[in-house]
Amino acid sequence: MFEKSQKIYGSARHLSRVAAVQAVYQMEQNPEDRQDVVFQFLNSRFNEDVKGTTEPDINFFKDITNFLANDLSVFDQKITEQLTEQWKIERLPSLSRSILRCALYELAHTPSVPTSVIINEYLEVAKSFLEKKDVSFIHGIIDALAKKIR
């Protein structure tokens, strides 16, 4: 997703969020190997593919990815409720689903992190991977769900 030589700037948690989105994306592509995806990131991908200007918050990464590895679709109904009738969650690009799932994990399970920080962080992640119109779409869904969850 990022080129191998590209460094990711930001906090330890930002780096962990970027990696979590990448891992959740990979989990969706290879559903039989979800725990192996987490293992790969912890044992090699953080050193090879996901390099930042700081060390990642490994425990934070594990919290997000282990939770979603157990049930990748746990938040899909909440996401679907934000879509118009013509849209189904399967119609969203896999990467958009991954960003939304990670953001919803944080909104639901990390009350100590301010809502605005979660929204801004995942918008920055989305900007790294998606076009501007897709980032706006993601923003609308995360913002609406944040108001319902918190």
Give the tens place of pLDDT for each residue, 4-50.
Answer: 445 556 788 998 999 999 999 999 998 888 999 999 888 877 766 56
Question: Mean pLDDT over all residues of the chain?
Answer: 89
The torsion angle over the Cα atoms of residues 28, 34, 40 and 41, rounded to 10 degrees, is 60
Q: pTM of the full predicted structure?
A: 0.90
Architecture of domain 7-149: Orthogonal Bundle (1.10)
pLDDT of 8: 59
Q: Which of 31, 100, 99, 37 is nearest to 71 (CA)?
A: 31
Chain centre to alpha carbon of residue 21: 3
Percentage of the chain surpassing pLDDT 70? 89
Q: Phi then psi for 52, rounded to 5 degrees?
A: -125, 180
Span 102-130, average pLDDT: 97
Higher pLDDT, 54 or 94: 94
Q: Which of 88, 113, 90 is nearest to 103 (CA)?
A: 113
Express each pLDDT in 69-98 by its tens digit. 999 999 999 999 999 888 889 999 999 999
Domain ranges of the chain: 7-149
Instruction: Please count the other Cβ atoms lying within 10 Å of the Cβ belonging to residue 102.
Output: 29
| Helix 58-70 / helix 12-29 crossing angle, nearest 10 deg | 30
The strand pairing partners of 52, in sequence order, are 8
Contact 19, 41 (CB under 8 A): yes
Query: Residue 58 above 50 pLDDT?
Result: yes
Instruction: With residue 52 as reference, give the H or E element that holds it.
Output: strand 51-52
3-state helix, strand, coil in the chain (%, to 5): 70, 5, 25
pLDDT of 2: 44
pLDDT of 141: 97
Q: Phi then psi for 72, rounded to 5 degrees?
A: -60, -30
pLDDT of 147: 97
Contact 49, 2 (CB under 8 A): yes
pLDDT of 122: 98
